[in-house]
Chain A
Amino acid sequence: MAMEKRLQKELQALVNDPPVGIKVDADQIGQNLSEWLVNVDGAPGSIYNGEKFQLQFKFGSRYPFESPQVVFVGPNIPVHPHVYSNGHICLSILTDDWSPALSVQSVCLSVVSMLSSCKEKKRPPDNAIYVKTCSKNPKKTRWWYHGKQCYHSEYKTSLLGMSSMGINT
């Protein structure tokens, strides 16, 4: 099966030759490889220097043609304008811009780079309402990627005053 073959190859590469600050917990991974935990260090020189985070990856049978489900888990969820307090991440490569040429490693590196470019620790503006109403699976959120801003769609539609437009969803 394409998914298992590909994940096997990715796992081997991450275990044998991990990028700095990224470490996969190979013992945690079950037989069918469909769920991984990856330990990620805040990059030196960034405001997350010295912090340790954990990313959970879940893969469907259509991986790598469909993106993995990726969330922060564990005791330390980074405080960042694109990371919700429940661990959901607003990052375009995790949904709209996912490509089968990306990998677990490239996702981890993108997440670290997203953290590193942040100058001030704060939660997304719509954190409270999102965490209250969202699905457990962040892929079931329709994210709006707009320059440096990032919203889930209901926040955007409420901003636009959708109800006044009488749009029927």
Chain B
Amino acid sequence: MSSEFKYDPEVNYDEATMAQQRQIEKEVATKQQLIGPQEDLSQLEMEFAEDAVYFQKTKCLQKKYSHMRRTRGDGNCFYRAFCFAYFETLLHNRTEYDRFKDIAARSKEMLLSLGFPQFTLEDFHDVFMEVLEKVGSQCALDDLLDTFNDQGHSDYLVVYLRLLVSGHLQKEDEFYSNFVEGGRSVQEFCSQEVEPMGKESDHIHISALTAATGVSIQVEYLDRGSDDSVIGHVFPEGTTPQIYLLYKPGHYDILYK
């Protein structure tokens, strides 16, 4: 920081700040695909070569997992990582596919009954079901990857999952109201922290999405916790995980055993 800041009421600081923010978003977008290719987990170790705590923890992580896929840090990474990792497993699991397709098909009525506008909901549901059909036709993995990396399609999927989370939270309003911070109602929380694009996900979002879809996930938390181990949480508790995500503060990637 060079000279001391002096507030000048004639200057528009907002534009400068926001231009800088857009520039950062653009850089992130050119560097990282929405869903990246599968890579060896040892790549992560190299990333943290300079950081003893994280380095040790990635070593530990490699005992349980072999590969990872990076996702773009655009605030939607949890939804996109969840959706891709799960759809990838559905390519080879007909029973699970049929179960989920039924839930997905019926979810639209659930959301409509909660008062979501049919008009906009329909579009997102339609595209979600279209992509699910594609998974059902056992399309090639590369084909699925292309769909998730096409922002147009990909964001429709993210929106639909956001609405599912919002719907579930509102349906179970009494329970979740205990976990909403800042003296807000569940509905306010949903319109501020769930439905808008780019709003990051926390335990409450993960808990709602896994409950709404009946999909079990394990999240490995890579943070500065005290010992060398990486703590894994299964949502919902006590279930057998179908997909694995890696959490580094503020970001989710996909893990493979």
Contacts and interface: CB of A to CB of B under 8 A. Distances in A.
A101 B5 CA distance: 41
A129 interface: yes
Interface in B147-162: 152, 155, 159, 162
A169 B17 contact: yes
B197 A133 contact: no
A64 B197 CA distance: 10
Given A65-B155, A158-B9, A101 B121 contact: yes
B95 interface: no
Given A133-B9, A133-B12, A152-B14, A103 B191 contact: no
Contacts of A105: 119
B196 A96 contact: yes
B155 A99 contact: no
Interface string A129-169: 10011110000111000000000111001100011001111
B152 to A, nearest CB: 5
A103 B121 CA distance: 11
Interface string B196-213: 110000000000000000
Q: Is the interface of B mostly helix, strand, loop or mixed?
A: helix
A141 B14 contact: yes
B4 interface: yes
B13 A154 contact: yes
B37 to A, nearest CB: 25
B1 interface: yes
B51 interface: no
Nearest to B16: A169
Contacts of A141: 14
A136 to B, nearest CB: 10
A101 B155 contact: no
A102 B14 CA distance: 25
A98 interface: yes
B17 A142 contact: yes
Interface in B12-30: 12-18
B102 interface: no
Contact of A166 (B5, B116, B123): B5
A100 interface: yes
Interface string A110-145: 000000000000000000010011110000111000
Contacts of A140: 14-15, 18
A99 B9 CA distance: 32
B5 A100 contact: no
A129 B163 CA distance: 39
Contacts of B163: 101
Interface string A86-102: 00000011001111111
Contact of A135 (B7, B14, B195): B14
B17 A100 contact: no
Contact of B197 (A99, A129, A162): A99
A142 B123 contact: no
Given A97-B196, A100-B197, A135-B15, A168 B5 contact: yes
A26 interface: no
Contact of B195 (A6, A99, A157): A99
B14 A100 contact: no
Contacts of B5: 162-163, 166-169
Contact of A158 (B7, B10, B15, B17): B7
Given A6-B123, A142-B17, A101 B7 contact: no
B238 interface: no
A46 interface: no
14 contacts: A92-B192, A96-B192, A96-B196, A98-B196, A98-B197, A100-B124, A105-B119, A133-B11, A134-B12, A135-B12, A140-B15, A142-B17, A152-B14, A154-B14
Interface of B: 1-2, 4-7, 9-18, 116-117, 119-121, 123-124, 152, 155, 159, 162-163, 191-192, 195-197
